[in-house]
Amino acid sequence: MREYQDEAPVGGKGIEKQQTEEKLFGERKIAPEVKNILEKEPVILELLKEMREYDWVTFDHLMKVGELSVAISKELELSSSESDLLLGSALVHDIGKLKISKEILQKKGKYSDEERVVMQSHADIGAEMLRDLGEYQKAEMTQRHHEQKRSRRYQVNGRKNVPMLKEKKGKHASRRDDSGLEKLARLLSVIDIFESTGNRNRPNNRNGELLAKRSEELEYFDSDFELEVIGLLQKWETERAIDKI
Ligand SMILES: [Fe+2]
Ligand SMILES: [Fe+2]
């Protein structure tokens, strides 16, 4: 698994605008697949530039979720259209945070209930931004990236643990669908949770507060396919830690 090289934020609007792609990403190692998609889809590059300028921590997270999605796509041998959609969505899924005030976005302590509602709106805001740009599939993925967890929670707790979570065949099959956009949305949710709970650059995770909640956050993802992805992510994380010793 590749190691990420982080870099301190660079300030100054004028300077930022003159930055080339290389300068934008600094010393960070970028997977060729990420470079390719940024060339093919300049809208993603522009949104990432804007995010880096607005909130480096979110930019860092988007890049890492993007890199992990490349690695997962390879392991699962996704088709090129699936890999592109997963990667493109991974790189912009939190873009709605551009519209969340820095006061809330960069807050170090716990959110109030009101602030949490504002924060949670970033998925809808991001989806709207992407729809306005004509990026309908990425909008759908963005809209769902937190819904996955919430809907699972509802299925488990709101319906007394019955059938929705069980894999079923035929007419009464559960909502779980290992194909198409649904599968990719689930993948993105798992990678997103995994990366964000492990990312120590986050102001609310400096001492591993989010990491302590990772298994709780992931407990609703329990199909074979999801467990395989979680296993891969854990393996890579462990290997990365071992490399550093
Ligand atoms: Fe998010
Ligand atoms: Fe995210």
Task: Compute φ and ψ for 12, nearest 5 degrees.
Answer: 90, 110
Per-residue pLDDT tens over the stretch 97-145? 999 999 999 998 888 999 999 999 999 999 999 999 999 999 999 999 9
- The ligand minimizing its distance to the Cα of 149 is 1
Ligand 2 geometric centre to CA of 168 (Å): 30
Ligand 2 geometric centre to CA of 34 (Å): 17
Ligand 2 geometric centre to CA of 54 (Å): 15
Residues with CB under 5 A from ligand 1 (ion): 94
Contact 195, 218 (CB under 8 A): no
- Please tell me the distance from the alpha carbon of residue 66 to that of residue 92, in angstroms, as a whole number: 9
Query: Higher model confidence: residue 66 or residue 1?
Result: 66
116: helix, strand or coil: helix
- The ligand minimizing its distance to the Cα of 90 is 2
User: Residue 112, Cα to own-chain centre: how many angstroms?
Assistant: 23
Please state the rounded mean pLDDT for residues 173-197: 79
Per-residue pLDDT tens over the stretch 62-85? 999 999 999 999 999 999 999 999
173: helix, strand or coil: coil
Ligand 2 geometric centre to CA of 18 (Å): 27
The CATH code that applies to domain 13-244 is 1.10.3210
Ligand 1 geometric centre to CA of 171 (Å): 33
Alpha helices in the chain (DSSP H): 13-18, 21-25, 32-40, 42-54, 56-76, 80-92, 102-105, 113-120, 122-132, 136-144, 147-153, 180-198, 214-218, 224-244
Structure tokens at 183: 């599968």
